[in-house]
Amino acid sequence: MDFFTAQDKARRKTGRLVVLMVLAVLALIAVTTLAITIALHLMGEQSATQTNLSAQGMWSALSIELVTGVAIAVLAVVVLGGLFKRSQLRRGGRVVAEALGGREINLNTRDADERRILNVVEEMAIASGTPVPSVYVLEEESINAFAAGYQTNDAVIGITRGTIRNLTRDELQGVVAHEFSHILHGDMRLNMRLISILHGILIIGLLGGTLLRSMRFRRVGGGKRDNSGAVVLALGAALMLIGYAGTFFGNLIKSAVSRQREYLADASAVQFTRNPKGIGNALVKIGSHSQGSHLQATQAAEFSHLFFGQGVRQGFSQMMATHPPLKDRIKRVMPDWNGRFEATLPTPQAESDAPEPEYNNERSGADPTLGRGAGLGATAAVLTGASAQAAINTMGQPGQRHLAQARATLEALPERIKTAAHEPYAARALVYSLLLSQDKTMRHHQLKALHQVALPDVYRALMDYGPEMLRLDVQLRLPLIELALPALRSLSMEQAQHFRLCMERLIEADGQVSLLEWTLYQLVLNNISKQGSGPANLKINDLQRECQMLLTVLATAGQDDPVERSAALNAAERELPFSLRATDDISDMRALSLAVERLRRLKPLHKPALLQAMARCIEHSGRILPAEAELFRAMADILDCPMPPLLSDEA
């Protein structure tokens, strides 16, 4: 299933969730009404010598006012509970990771296990064209992981200590690739919405449990005609019934949504790594591990549908399980598995003594032609329209060659620069350096303007890394920004606002905004702050003017000759259901920003036409320059379309 179809299906599933929630709420209203009717009937019978629980007696206690009151009360609790949970989750995946007791891994950690998982996540992110997510470790010995967040810019990967300690690097790749599938295919956002929706339903049960526990301290008086004991028992039973009903419906919805997505994510992990034994053996190790994949965190049940493996012990029925049976998942990725959980788990001592593997050509079947810088040089020489087409076709489902290209990219980055990208002060300095002009005089004006507002430590880091950054290969700029994003996302609100101000000062120093400056600014801003562009409900025919502006800017960036620029637009026009005309004034970058905000609201199945038009625009001459390729990918990222690296020889 391609990226855009998966996104569209995830979007449609949100509507189905609402239907399921409505059915669950109606069921809760019925159960609650029945419970209150019984309680009221019993209270009305206190003066009688014998309690009457007949159907006729129950019916007499029922009224329109009672049903209406119960419905309003249940709806209010469900809606308010859902809105409350949604407000709690507004910070994205970090909230989930922290609720489960996770700790964000320091990007410059000296722990060998933590360095290894960070390396795997960085590789996967660059290979798939997504921002590098923050990584959290849960200090639990079980083998499990999760991805959480609404968008790629607030996503996190959570992983247990038992996972990074007991799995080999290939197995870790399989697990992380599985989680990236959830990020790319919209499952992650769907799961986050599911948490909010279900919290409103489950809160009925939580309230019921609280009231039931409080009744233990209530003194039940005696008396010949006192029937309060029966009322208390009835209310207790009713509250317990409501609690079980809420939990039942909630788990039923979670399970129905979750199970099939796990099979798809397993298959995507195999496609990504081209190594079925990676994720297969990881699943086998869960089966052979003493603690399996079960988490001890108190809120594990609430987030159980997010996990790689069954995070909590399932009930009496597989129908309530959030994950398919372990044996079924293993058989699907490794048909020749012997059916026995016989994996050998490495001891912590042996694992800690093992040297941290470097990026090399032998690891996980990497392409031997993609050594240090070799893959990058080859890509720069022969990128064509086929390269762009292949990148669009593999969005959401990158392959092993993209992974090898990501390794080559990480090797080509100077070690000193990679280390700096992991530190918040230095990361800001690296971004500033990318905005510096190649012209010495203009660069002097920019530095003078920045010196007045920048933090002293950041400015010193800029002067330290600046000369090396000016020589950085154009193809390494986008991966470097992706590496720096976790450090930039760790900035406080005040620090982020100051960082934005400094970027604007650098951009405005020469009195004009270049396309490179605008793209870099938008790319960073899109990934470190919430961009409220609204729901994705627009069609491409509704955005003709915005498409016109974006494609004209793209054609102008790659062509100085007006004739060639017109030819680029003509090539792009063939992919669109409307005509394009050349626009003379493309200097208004504020107008371009507003246009892009609107284009981000395109329906998922309408975005491929725009991306195809962008690809035709940059390759109409038969060849794509490295700068054009990176501009193409950066703009795709701004449009919320994670574009994998363009490969030189893919048809």
Check whether 211 has a pLDDT greater than 60.
no
pLDDT over 90, % of the chain: 30
Dig out the tokens for 462 from the structure.
């800029």
Q: What is the pLDDT of residues 295-307, one digit of tens each?
A: 999 888 888 889 9
d(CA 183, CA 42): 53
Dig out the tokens for 629 from the structure.
């390729």
Contact 220, 228 (CB under 8 A): yes
pLDDT for the residue 77: 80
| 205 pLDDT tier (thresholds 50, 70, 90) | low
pLDDT average, residue stretch 542-550: 90
Dig out the tokens for 573 from the structure.
């026009």
Contact 183, 125 (CB under 8 A): no
What does the longest C-alpha to C-alpha distance in the chain come to?
102
Dig out the tokens for 527 from the structure.
């990934």
Q: What is the pLDDT of residues 218-243, one digit of tens each?
A: 554 555 455 555 555 555 566 666 66
Q: Which residue in this structure is represented by tokens 């500033």?
A: 432
pLDDT for the residue 176: 96
Q: What is the pLDDT of residues 1-34, one digit of tens each?
A: 566 676 666 666 666 666 777 777 777 777 777 7
pLDDT for the residue 353: 40
φ and ψ of 138, to 5 deg: -105, 125
pLDDT over 70, % of the chain: 77
pLDDT for the residue 640: 85
Q: What is the pLDDT of residues 322-334, one digit of tens each?
A: 888 899 999 999 9
pLDDT for the residue 143: 95
Q: Which residue in this structure is represented by tokens 């309680």?
A: 39
Rounded (10°) angle between helices 64-88 and 187-214: 120
pLDDT for the residue 232: 56
d(CA 650, CA 302): 43
| 260 pLDDT tier (thresholds 50, 70, 90) | confident
**Regarding predicted confidence, which is higher, 468 or 36?**
468
Check whether 498 has a pLDDT greater than 80.
yes
pLDDT for the residue 413: 93
Contact 182, 257 (CB under 8 A): no
- Return the top range by mean pLDDT from 82-91, 256-265, 312-321, 463-472: 463-472
pLDDT average, residue stretch 482-510: 91
Q: How many CA atoms, within 13 angstroms, populate the side-chain half-sphere of residue 479?
A: 31
User: For this structure, is 619 an active site residue?
Assistant: no
Q: Cα–chain-centroid distance for residue 187?
A: 8
pLDDT for the residue 191: 85
pLDDT average, residue stretch 606-617: 91
d(CA 306, CA 214): 33
| 364 pLDDT tier (thresholds 50, 70, 90) | very low
- Specify the amino acid at residue 468: E
Dig out the tokens for 251 from the structure.
């788990």
pLDDT for the residue 212: 56
Instruction: Say if strands 156-160 and 134-138 run parallel, antiparallel, or are unpaired.
Output: parallel
**Regarding predicted confidence, which is higher, 486 or 251?**
486
Check whether 172 has a pLDDT greater than 90.
yes
Check whether 437 has a pLDDT greater than 80.
yes
Contact 164, 117 (CB under 8 A): yes
pLDDT for the residue 13: 64
Q: What is the pLDDT of residues 95-128, one digit of tens each?
A: 999 999 999 999 988 899 999 999 999 999 999 9
Model confidence, pTM: 0.81
Check whether 335 has a pLDDT greater than 70.
yes
Q: Which one is catalytic: 45, 114, 123, 179?
A: 179
Query: What structural domains does the chain harbor?
Result: 3-91+191-253 (no CATH), 94-189+266-342 (3.30.2010.10)
| 513 pLDDT tier (thresholds 50, 70, 90) | confident
d(CA 451, CA 460): 10
**Regarding predicted confidence, which is higher, 312 or 344?**
312
DSSP class per residue in 531-583: -----S-B-GGGGHHHHHHHHHHHHHHH--SHHHHHHHHHHHHTTSSS-----
pLDDT average, residue stretch 420-449: 92
Q: What is the pLDDT of residues 43-65, one digit of tens each?
A: 665 544 455 555 565 566 667 77
* 247, 250, 251, 256 alpha-carbon torsion, rounded to 10°: 160
φ and ψ of 136, to 5 deg: -115, 140
pLDDT for the residue 370: 34
Q: What is the mean pLDDT of the chain?
A: 80
pLDDT for the residue 417: 95
